[in-house]
Amino acid sequence: GMVGLLLSTAHAEGLQGKIIGFSQIGSESGWRAAETSVTKAEAEARGIDLKFADAQQKQENQIKAIRGFIAQGVDAILVAPVVATGWEEVLTEAKEAEIPVVLLDRGIEGPEDLYLTSVASDQVKEGRVAGEWLAGTVGEAQCNIVELQGTVGSSPAINRKQGFEEAIAGKANLAIIRSQTGDFTRSKGKEVMEGFLKAEDGGKNICAVYAHNDDMAVGAIQAIKDAGLKPGSDILVVSIDAVPDIFAAMVAGEANATVELTPNMAGPAFDALQAYWDAGTEPAKFIITESKLYTPADDPQGEYERRKDLGY
């Protein structure tokens, strides 16, 4: 109203009162749940009216949610795209409605002008960091690796596979002997690992499991224990996310390394939108978050507690 007009500039208002739609993938992992709660908290702290839609892992639900946000005339749309392809039509609709779109934590294929910016990690690097850790840890020893891939067609599954393969390429003692999707979930990770263990002499032929996220690693750890082997020593466990449960597994000696993915993608996304609206600042097309390696030498108990305090 008039008072607001007189008393505050757009800058002082920040994102207060903006309506922002968030099309979230679902709640397949602990990391995903943390991202959802951090996004809600970041929105609330900035006075944003966040419209949250959970797609239950289905792209068609995300497309419907985005169309709903466009129809409502939201100010901006955040989307964590479950898979990398098939977004052109709906994002063109958002563009035609002049609603800026920000991608969170996963990438898409297709023209970059369909989104304002993408806030995500360098997922190829995550895979490379995991692979380099394993290569450095086993040295010259022969090591058969089994891989638990993320959701088929998702950017983290594609890129984390590629980065890991790059890191072990040319090392004759390292080989991925089995690779299958566990859909980023704990239950699928366990189920697929059970199959790998059975197929590989009860696990005796497996030296390491590389899981594209911690939840699948936690499922695999359970399967390894059920098979009478020791995760963390009989079979090395390396994964990505750095959620509290993987640090708990490290404390128990059952996990060996993880690469951190921050759940706070929304903070940088909201900052970019504010700068864009306040000053017309075009954000960088790709805002890249850090990828830090953690092992049991990095105070896993403390890391566990710190994340629990953050509300994971």
Site for ligand AHR, rule CB under 6 A:
28-29, 31-32, 105-106, 156, 184, 213, 215, 240-241, 261
What the block records as the tokens of 26 is 């679902």
* C-alpha to C-alpha distances, 57 to 85, 180, 246, nearest whole angstrom: 14, 18, 23
DSSP tally for the chain: helices H, then strands E? 12, 12
Instruction: Determine the longest span between alpha carbons in the chain, in angstroms.
Output: 75
Residue 42 vs 214, nearer CB to ligand AHR = 214
Least distance to ligand AHR from the beta carbon of 105, Å?
Answer: 4
CA-based nearest residue to 212, from 28, 49, 4: 28
Residue 26 vs 231, nearer CB to ligand AHR = 26
Least distance to ligand AHR from the beta carbon of 261, Å?
Answer: 5
CB atoms inside a 10 Å sphere around CB 165: 16
Residue 108 vs 227, nearer CB to ligand AHR = 108
b/e map 229-259, b = 16+ CB within 10 Å:
bebbeebbbbbbbbbbbbbbbbeeebbbbbb
Least distance to ligand AHR from the beta carbon of 48, Å?
Answer: 22
Determine the Cα–Cα distance for residues 220 and 44; give it in Å rounded to an integer.
36
Least distance to ligand AHR from the beta carbon of 178, Å?
Answer: 21
CA-based nearest residue to 220, from 251, 259, 263, 249: 249
Residue 32 vs 51, nearer CB to ligand AHR = 32
Determine the Cα–Cα distance for residues 39 and 83; give it in Å rounded to an integer.
20
Least distance to ligand AHR from the beta carbon of 291, Å?
Answer: 11
Least distance to ligand AHR from the beta carbon of 80, Å?
Answer: 7
Least distance to ligand AHR from the beta carbon of 183, Å?
Answer: 9
Q: Which residues contact 242 (CB under 8 A, 6 or more apart)?
A: 214, 258, 259, 260, 261, 292, 294, 303, 307
CA-based nearest residue to 38, from 241, 196, 262: 262
Residue 14 vs 182, nearer CB to ligand AHR = 182
Residue 127 vs 231, nearer CB to ligand AHR = 127
Determine the Cα–Cα distance for residues 161 and 145; give it in Å rounded to an integer.
12
Least distance to ligand AHR from the beta carbon of 213, Å?
Answer: 4
Sheet holding 286-289, edge to edge: 49-54, 19-24, 76-79, 101-104, 117-121, 286-289
Determine the Cα–Cα distance for residues 255 and 247; give it in Å rounded to an integer.
8
Residue 99 vs 104, nearer CB to ligand AHR = 104
Residue 167 vs 216, nearer CB to ligand AHR = 216
